[in-house]
Structure 1
Amino acid sequence: MSGVLLLATMLVPLLMLAACLSAGARRAMPRLLWLAPLPGVAAALFAIDMPPVVLDPNRLRFTLELGRPAALLLGVAALLWSAAGAYAAAYLDRGLATERFACWWLLTMAGSLGVFAAGDLVTFYLAFAMVSLSAYGLVIHDRTARAWRAGSIYLLLAVLGEIFLLLGFAVLAVASPGDSIAIAEVTAALPVSPWHGATIALLILGFGLKAGMVPLHVWLPLAHPAAPMPASAVLSGAIVKAGIIGLIRFLPWDAGGPVLGEALVVMGFATAFYGVAIGVTQANPKTVLAYSSVSQMGVVMAALGAGLAAGQAAAPMDAAFYASHHVLAKGACFLAVGVGYAAGRRGMAWVMVPVLLLVLSFGGFPLTGGALAKAAVKDQLGYGLLGTLSAISAGGTTLLMLHFARRLAAGMEEGGTWPAAGLWLPWLGLTLSAMAIPWVLFAQVGSFAEALTPAAIWKAVWPMAIGAALVPLLGRLPAVPEGDVLIPAERAFHRAAGPLGRAADGLERVLNCWPQAGLALVLLLLAFGWALA
């Protein structure tokens, strides 16, 4: 039964995509998108820690398995994909563009959920490539100049990340003593590999790029504002978690690693603080949320690094719990932007009350899901210098998310009508899930008695109070362009490259044509798969 659920997690979206070859099915598909992730929810509940499922064991050996951290992330990611799929059916207009969006959506979803269930290098790489490259179609959906630019930069960085991972996986396979390419076996051999340092660097670059690690984060603040609202929700909530599950699955947890762990802590907190510093200068609420995701993924990386440095076997599960709250709450925040704009000032109170609960949850307000998420990583980030940095990060997160709430409220126009049920029901359901599901699952990673003590509550409240007190100062900050470090890099490139820069512009114009871009995407994915198989 577990094998059927794991297979269905990837195959159901792909079979629905194949059904789109029929014009009738293609027209109906946008209304059915919410169904495709449901096998992933079932797998997360019933296929945990079961023996691996191996397909074609004598040749390709595609392997599917589901550990506890991956199951947690798979379950919440599938819930987000389902809610966002229902939202997309009401949000997008009918027509060929929406049908095309549904095809890209299903292909991206198959990869996004597949990375959590993959048990060997080939399966993981194919799923990772599928989610990375197919998301390009979601980013460029609106076909505006902004969307084309964001899509081109996203695709360039996605291919770069695939190259890093392909090289890292190749070295992992070569260094493994046997002929197995199961993830558990190749990572067990990593500590004694003669290419240990180079392999780790390649893996961190590949996974860190997807997770938004600074300075490889620039695709998030460009892609999120350009993509349609439901696509932004899954880009920020679910797709970045492909990088997090990669770090969880491929870091050498059994062997430990003080140096590697400390380096991850530094990179993680640098990313967390940078995301806040740039995010508070943004005016577009979707861009603010993008930089918030950069910051939050930095905290997850810091927790993983601290756990690795201390040899804590529970760190992957703790970090996965923290990331799972982000999946639901950040997805709900993105959907709230569309609901708020539709409701206008007439419905502001009905929208902003749940939004403020989500905002405070990110800061770690007591009794919210975010408070439990922060309690889950207490063993990694709750003491000493790391505890101080974590408290500063919580204050910064509060400041940034309150800034998001202000920008959302400012964007609501006079009047407005109550949004269609297809918009507000998925959003409200996701919001309630972000509040309730951490309470259901927290016993797996922590103690309610410890999380609800007066000392723990005070420890959570005072950084948030400082962050809230700084909100009035935000209006005085200079604006930073979306993409931040990419802007001077582009200018320097164009000044120095001359003809090369003009050739790159020409290539971008070619990629902006749908048939060429779509064909290039499919060919890249097939080439990567053929090379690995």
Structure 2
Amino acid sequence: MTLSGALLAATLATPLAFAALCLLAPFRRRVFALLPLAPLPGLATALLAPGGSLLLAPAPLRLVLALDAPGAMLLGGASLLWSCAGLYAGSYMGARAGHTGFAVWWLLTLAGSLGVFIVADMTSFYLMFSLVSLAAYGLVAHEGTPAAERAGLAYMALALLGEAFLLFGFVLLATAGPNGNPLIADAVAMLDGSPWRAATLTLLILGFGLKMGLVPLHIWMPLAHPVAPMPASAVLSGIVVKAGVIGLIRFLPFDRAAPDWGTALAALGLFTAYYGVGVGITQRNPKTVLAYSTVSQMGLVAAIIGAGMAAGAADATRLAAYYGLHHLLVKGALFMGVGVVAATGARRRPLVLGVMAVMAFSLAGLPFTSGALAKYAAKAVLGEGATGTLATLSAAGSTLLMLHFLRLLAGISKARPQDRAPAGMVVPWLVAAFASFAVAWALFPQATGGGLAGVLAPAALWKATWPILLGLLLAPGLARWGARLPAIPEGDIAVLAERAGPAVRRFGHGVEWFDAAMRAWPVAGLALLAIVLALGALLALP
């Protein structure tokens, strides 16, 4: 076995082995100290094995691991954040009762989330996608409160719905490809000749869009993040949603232009980007605001993928992965930072809030941050037309949303003035924050195929700055009249559906009563007589 093959195998085997070892009492007692180690083979794989592959089983089963450029970017960032969040979890969760169960769910979610970046055949991808989707339930519902149970139920219902979409989509996709378990690339290459092309693309976009949180399939995010433990929120929002991103990258065709499907996906993505901001600014929980921010940012990733699909631009996959990497590290750092702020006293809080402000504005594209690099790179596929303009303007909305988040964040700490957050929380938070800068700058040439001179040009810096200035100009209006905005509950569409439930049930009972009444002979007889008389009158007309 080659080094790359061994690393690919270790990426999956290590977290699964750790989960199995939790059956042993000595390992369970130390599991939280070992969580940061479980993702490290994945980080080594991303650094040392791009382009590598490993055949686990020959045809017709043909289970294959492989790592391409988009997968390597997301695998490396995800492994780094999983390691930081694991260290954070040891400090944040270690003293809580029932933490061993949380660690097992954590390790299973970790295995699935890294697995989707390195599998190359359809069966393995479905297994890894199902693992990350279903195991994440344990992170969402861990607290056991009524809100956590409600969020866990909603998450599981939508996860199973997404699995159903993908299962049907994969079946249709496999029928167009070779027999057995086809490689993903082979099956996608045969899609244009499939009689089920439209149905397959619809199911794939629905399944992966649900995991990404595209509207109206986004509702699990604002329900799950506020109730999940802080380290779980970091990986759910930063990493788990990227299973949907890599799914769209892997399974949508980019070899030729598809303007109909690409434009539709880009439009859905842009609508999601603005919807996430519009609902997010009405929220009062900082974690919920971050959840809606993820909805918005995943909308932009979908717009990049859609624009690339519309133009037949194969480099869109690499650019979407790069944008996803930026969001992964920044959003993970922001969620961990919420816990740090809550545990920090007034004397040290300004410094913590300063770092959080830079991270927050990075999502809007603050010059010299990873957000500015990602947005500049995305312009190559978004273009200067309507799609590019709307994507640029969305940065003003992100600025507004992040200012709202920072205002809420400044008021959450109940620590004593001299308190400081534990080092086990501060260190991984700072590592993730620093990595969001360092990794984005290091990978920019690889992601774009160009140098850094363009992004540092005055024209590029101005294009990154003016949407943020526009958001700052709008901020006083939100601060003054924001209280008049409608109070949209967490989960928006889901909650409205719940509130409509009694009315729907009353309507159903009314239909049942009407049907039962009509089945009674006297009423039915009179109705029949009225119909006969009406028909007779019509026939008697000249």
Tell me whether the two structures share a fold, i.e. TM-score over 0.5.
Answer: yes
The answer for the alignment partner of 1:215 in structure 2 is 216
Work out the CA distance in 2 between the residues paired with 1:433 and 1:415. 30
Work out the CA distance in 2 between the residues paired with 1:277 and 1:46. 42
Work out the CA distance in 2 between the residues paired with 1:351 and 1:263. 41
The answer for the alignment partner of 1:243 in structure 2 is 244
> Is the counterpart of residue 281 in structure 1 residue 289 in structure 2?
no
Letter of the aligned partner of 1:427 in structure 2?
W
The answer for the alignment partner of 2:108 in structure 1 is 107
Letter of the aligned partner of 1:76 in structure 2?
G
Deviation per residue, 1:481-524 (Å, 9 max, x gap): 000111121222343247999xxxxxxxxxxxxxxxxxxxxxxx
- Judged with a 3 Å threshold, the aligned counterparts in structure 2 of structure 1 residues 500 and 29 are, in CA distance, closer, same or farther, namely farther
Structure 2 unmatched ranges of 5 or more: 510-542
Match of 1:462 among 456, 461, 466: 466
The answer for the alignment partner of 2:82 in structure 1 is 81
Match of 1:38 among 18, 37, 40: 40
Q: Measure how far apart 1:348 and its partner are.
A: 1.1
Letter of the aligned partner of 1:368 in structure 2?
T
Work out the CA distance in 1 between the residues paired with 2:438 and 2:325. 12
- Judged with a 3 Å threshold, the aligned counterparts in structure 2 of structure 1 residues 102 and 496 are, in CA distance, closer, same or farther, namely same
- Give the length in aligned residue pairs: 500
Work out the CA distance in 2 between the residues paired with 1:113 and 1:210. 15
The answer for the alignment partner of 2:317 in structure 1 is 316
Check whether the contact 2:60–2:180 (CA below 8 A) recurs between aligned residues.
no
The answer for the alignment partner of 1:202 in structure 2 is 203
**Structure-2-length-normalised TM-score:** 0.90
Check whether the contact 2:70–2:321 (CA below 8 A) recurs between aligned residues.
yes
Match of 2:18 among 16, 19, 25: 16
Deviation per residue, 1:87-128 (Å, 9 max, x gap): 000001435511110000000100000000011111000000
Check whether the contact 1:110–1:131 (CA below 8 A) recurs between aligned residues.
yes
Letter of the aligned partner of 2:467 in structure 1?
P
> Is the counterpart of residue 496 in structure 1 residue 500 in structure 2?
no
> Is the counterpart of residue 262 in structure 1 residue 256 in structure 2?
no
Check whether the contact 1:220–1:290 (CA below 8 A) recurs between aligned residues.
yes
Check whether the contact 2:213–2:219 (CA below 8 A) recurs between aligned residues.
yes
Work out the CA distance in 1 between the residues paired with 2:45 and 2:403. 36
Check whether the contact 1:62–1:123 (CA below 8 A) recurs between aligned residues.
yes
Work out the CA distance in 2 between the residues paired with 1:160 and 1:37. 29
Work out the CA distance in 2 between the residues paired with 1:250 and 1:142. 35
Check whether the contact 2:230–2:335 (CA below 8 A) recurs between aligned residues.
yes
Check whether the contact 1:13–1:36 (CA below 8 A) recurs between aligned residues.
yes
Check whether the contact 1:176–1:186 (CA below 8 A) recurs between aligned residues.
yes
Work out the CA distance in 1 between the residues paired with 2:145 and 2:221. 17
Matches for 1:374-453 after TM superposition, within 5 Å: 374-413=375-414, 415-416=416-417, 417-444=419-446, 445=448, 446-453=450-457
Work out the CA distance in 1 between the residues paired with 2:231 and 2:301. 24
- Judged with a 3 Å threshold, the aligned counterparts in structure 2 of structure 1 residues 472 and 413 are, in CA distance, closer, same or farther, namely farther
The answer for the alignment partner of 2:540 in structure 1 is none
Letter of the aligned partner of 2:491 in structure 1?
G
Work out the CA distance in 1 between the residues paired with 2:92 and 2:508. 40
Check whether the contact 2:256–2:311 (CA below 8 A) recurs between aligned residues.
no
Q: Measure how far apart 1:179 and its partner are.
A: 3.7
- Judged with a 3 Å threshold, the aligned counterparts in structure 2 of structure 1 residues 58 and 181 are, in CA distance, closer, same or farther, namely closer
> Is the counterpart of residue 91 in structure 1 residue 117 in structure 2?
no
Secondary structure of the residue aligned to 1:345 is coil
> Is the counterpart of residue 29 in structure 1 residue 37 in structure 2?
no
> Is the counterpart of residue 56 in structure 1 residue 57 in structure 2?
yes
The answer for the alignment partner of 2:370 in structure 1 is 369
- Judged with a 3 Å threshold, the aligned counterparts in structure 2 of structure 1 residues 500 and 410 are, in CA distance, closer, same or farther, namely farther
CA RMSD of aligned residues (A): 1.5
Check whether the contact 1:208–1:243 (CA below 8 A) recurs between aligned residues.
yes
Q: Measure how far apart 1:69 and its partner are.
A: 0.4
Letter of the aligned partner of 1:34 in structure 2?
P
Q: Give the structure with higher Rg (CA).
A: 2
> Is the counterpart of residue 231 in structure 1 residue 239 in structure 2?
no
Work out the CA distance in 2 between the residues paired with 1:215 and 1:202. 15
Work out the CA distance in 2 between the residues paired with 1:488 and 1:441. 43
The answer for the alignment partner of 1:357 in structure 2 is 358
Q: Between the two proteins, what is the percent identity of the paired residues?
A: 54
Check whether the contact 1:345–1:413 (CA below 8 A) recurs between aligned residues.
no
Letter of the aligned partner of 1:454 in structure 2?
P
Q: Measure how far apart 1:256 and its partner are.
A: 2.8
Letter of the aligned partner of 1:139 in structure 2?
V
Check whether the contact 1:180–1:186 (CA below 8 A) recurs between aligned residues.
no
> Is the counterpart of residue 182 in structure 1 residue 183 in structure 2?
yes
Work out the CA distance in 2 between the residues paired with 1:346 and 1:500. 59
Letter of the aligned partner of 1:37 in structure 2?
P
The answer for the alignment partner of 2:486 in structure 1 is 478
Work out the CA distance in 2 between the residues paired with 1:344 and 1:96. 26
Q: Measure how far apart 1:345 and its partner are.
A: 2.1
Secondary structure of the residue aligned to 1:53 is strand
> Is the counterpart of residue 131 in structure 1 residue 132 in structure 2?
yes
> Is the counterpart of residue 487 in structure 1 residue 487 in structure 2?
no
Secondary structure of the residue aligned to 1:225 is coil
Secondary structure of the residue aligned to 1:470 is helix
After superposing the two structures, state which structure 1 stretch, 144-153 or 338-347, moved more. Answer: 338-347
Deviation per residue, 1:411-435 (Å, 9 max, x gap): 1236251111101000001000011
Match of 1:47 among 49, 57, 67: 49
Check whether the contact 2:15–2:111 (CA below 8 A) recurs between aligned residues.
yes
After superposing the two structures, state which structure 1 stretch, 32-41 or 55-64, moved more. Answer: 55-64
Secondary structure of the residue aligned to 2:64 is strand
Q: Measure how far apart 1:130 and its partner are.
A: 0.3
Structure 1 unmatched ranges of 5 or more: 502-533
Work out the CA distance in 2 between the residues paired with 1:459 and 1:108. 39
Check whether the contact 1:6–1:43 (CA below 8 A) recurs between aligned residues.
yes
